[in-house]
Amino acid sequence: MNSFEAIIGQSPALDSLIRSAKIVAATDVTVLLKGNTGTGKEVFAHAIKNASPRAKKEFLTLNCAALPESLIESELFGHKKGSFTGATHNTQGLLQAAHGGTLFLDEINSLPLSIQAKLLRFLDMGECLAVGDVRPYKVDVRVIAATNANLMTLIDAGTFRSDLYFRLNVVPLELPPLADRSEDIELLIAHFFALFEKNHGSKSPKFSKASLKILKNYKWSGNIRELRNLCERLSILFSNQVIEPEHLPPEFQNETNHAELPDFVLPSTGIKLDTLEANLIHQALDRTQGNRSKSAKLLGITRDTLLYRMQKHGFFKSL
């Protein structure tokens, strides 16, 4: 079974990421997943674990932003009876519970500085110290961490340790935002509609061509999570119907004008497609002063697709 089957999409950016993740999964190194909220970091963490030698062992998760500093240390490392008010018995932490397996630390950027030092010691030495204890214990746990913030910015601000960053950043994998994966939107819609048809027992709706254009041009600040929520809402409200632009939520209406631009009309004399494509790439790069990510956005393609087409047209030979 392919552990990465749960990751939906065929865009070049995603294919490249999955190839790297498969290589990493076979090793035991620490992985740092970077990406905006809703890009699927936990799904990737599960896939890496399921493709690893630790596949049949524990997979535990801690959202570092979900607990106050006073509790997160005990949650991670455990505590001894009497170490604080309410500590009525010895309790093992997640690291001890995950022994032999994998621990996924989500939103590592929210981990308090005081806990970062203890986590660094574990990553370096494999040693943990329970709250209220004086004797460290050793565990064998693979750590996969995720961040939705720029950790270098937090280091500059003094809220994240540089030594911990470099220890976590052994193999960084950056998940692309959904806006850079417009080729995957229809596949994700089909996946979510099939899921909600099963969950809610109702026939899936369909998007009209005009509605799909809007979705492919939308900024998707909430990424895959936002698309999933939209699909669930529409599968309930418009079961077995065709979803037109006017059925979409208000935030999508601003995209209508852009999405309804007239299609390009092929001249009767024909065109030289390769020449036109190379010329458009030249124009985009000129307009963005060579910024490839912005150029890709102007052209409505992913950055990886732009790089492929630049190579195809010999751009790199002229650099």
Mean pLDDT (the chain, rounded): 90
Instruction: Give the residue extent of every domain in the chain.
Output: 12-176, 181-259, 273-318
Please state the CATH superfamily assignment of the domain spanning residues 12-176 in this structure. Answer: P-loop containing nucleotide triphosphate hydrolases (3.40.50.300)
pLDDT at 259: 45
| Interatomic CA distance for residues 12 and 232, integer angstroms | 27
* Residue 316 pLDDT greater than 90, yes or no: no
pLDDT per residue as tens digits for the range 110-123: 999 999 999 999 99
Q: What is the CATH number of domain 273-318?
A: 1.10.10.60
* 284-310 mean pLDDT: 85
Higher pLDDT, 103 or 80: 103
- Percent of the chain beyond pLDDT 70? 94
* 11-40 mean pLDDT: 94
CA nearest neighbour of 65 among 166, 165, 120, 145: 145
Token pair 């899936």: residue = 204
pLDDT per residue as tens digits for the range 52-83: 999 999 999 999 999 988 789 889 998 777 67
* Residue 158 pLDDT greater than 90, yes or no: yes
Q: What angle do CA 80, 83, 85 make, to 5 degrees?
A: 125
Which 3 state secondary structure label does DSSP give 158? coil
Please check whether the two domains, 12-176 and 181-259, share a CATH topology: no
pTM for the whole structure: 0.77
Give the CATH number of domain 181-259; options: 3.40.50.880, 1.10.357.10, 3.40.640.10, 1.10.8.60: 1.10.8.60
